Amino acid sequence: MRPSFTLGIEEEYQTVDPESRDLRSHIATEMLAKGRLRLEERVKAEMHQSVVEVGTRVCRNIEAAREDLYDLRRNMVRLAEEHGLLLVAGATHPFADWRVQEIYPDDRYKRVVEDLQLVARANLIFGLHVHVGIEDREAAIRIMNSMRYFLPHILALSTNSPFWLGMETGYKSYRAKVFENFPRTNLPDSFASYSEFENYVNLLIKTNTIDNAKKIWWDVRPHPFFNTVEVRICDIPLRAEESIAIAALIQATAAKLYKLHEANVDFRQYSRALLMENKFRAVRYGLDGKLIDFGKETEVAERDLIREYLAFVDDVLDELGSRAAVEELHNILERGSGADRQLAVFRQTGSLRAVVDYMAAETRAGL
């Protein structure tokens, strides 16, 4: 049965004090309660109280996802303003200190902090997660295996976390470096079948390593409770239109890989060890770096590789109705990712507070 390729998009936002421009742990109380009243299950708390997560409904195509995501961002911007806060889309805050952030009072988060201690407390990061509906679990594993190759490219487009604790880190996605301190993160190995994946999960549960498969935090995973492949590698981009473009690319990649498999052509598999080299380059240099073309055994400029990648998925865009959304990626290649633009503002002003102001303005752009 052909997958539905439905979409679900989750974004994590910062709640920022407009005076100090620092994170404010405010979300736990009335803002979250009000958000739930207005948006029901589409808004939820995260582990740190200065993080708020929204998730779209299951969307049949990218236009429905755009409508839903823009509605969520608009509502959250308004809610934040009503509570004297700014809503900011950035994968790290430029200077906030995780040591003074409050943890949301919830048993699940208490357990994570108990298990992971300082690593959990320091995990003050904000991501974009994209679900693609793939109902057949065997197809989901095949698509996940092949999709790993493209994840560094997708990450490079989304990079939006160049600062940490008031320092320029030298990385375009410092969020990725913070998150890899968690166990069961980064790119997964490939799996021969869904049952091999299930055996892995069951072994971890049986040995009291995890209590359920949601504690597998890989960059891509078959979702344990929904019939989706979930891509988790991305920084949250500054603009809603950038999130939509990246979600459209992820959906198109899944559709293209499925189409190849239907024609008995499989995308070549590379080892995790090789793919992790490309991930490091994407994390460090973003769009300005070179990634390895493993087929040709040579380095290629990331922007050139992304143009090749867009040509690779081009033949599925019209049936998905996502050509216009994917076109936006050319604008990201031109103007740079969120990380590039944050750094440009910092170079011009020398002020991290000015960077936060810029991020807040971009978060509202186009809504």
pLDDT band with cut points at 50, 70 and 90 for residue 48: low
The pLDDT, as a whole number, for residue 260 is 95
Does residue 33 have a pLDDT over 80?
no
| pLDDT, mean over the chain | 93
- What is the rounded average pLDDT of the residues 343-357? 98
User: Could you give the domains of the chain?
Assistant: 7-364 (3.30.590.20)
pLDDT greater at residue 319 or residue 107? 319
The pLDDT, as a whole number, for residue 36 is 77
**pLDDT tens digit sequence for 124-172:** 899 999 999 999 999 999 999 999 999 999 999 999 999 999 999 999 9
pLDDT greater at residue 286 or residue 26? 286
The pLDDT, as a whole number, for residue 47 is 62
Does residue 180 have a pLDDT over 80?
yes
**pLDDT tens digit sequence for 233-267:** 999 999 999 999 999 999 999 999 999 999 988 88
pLDDT greater at residue 15 or residue 36? 15
Does residue 113 have a pLDDT over 90?
no
- What is the rounded average pLDDT of the residues 346-366? 98
The pLDDT, as a whole number, for residue 288 is 98
Does residue 99 have a pLDDT over 90?
no
Closest CA to 22 of 120, 104, 124: 124
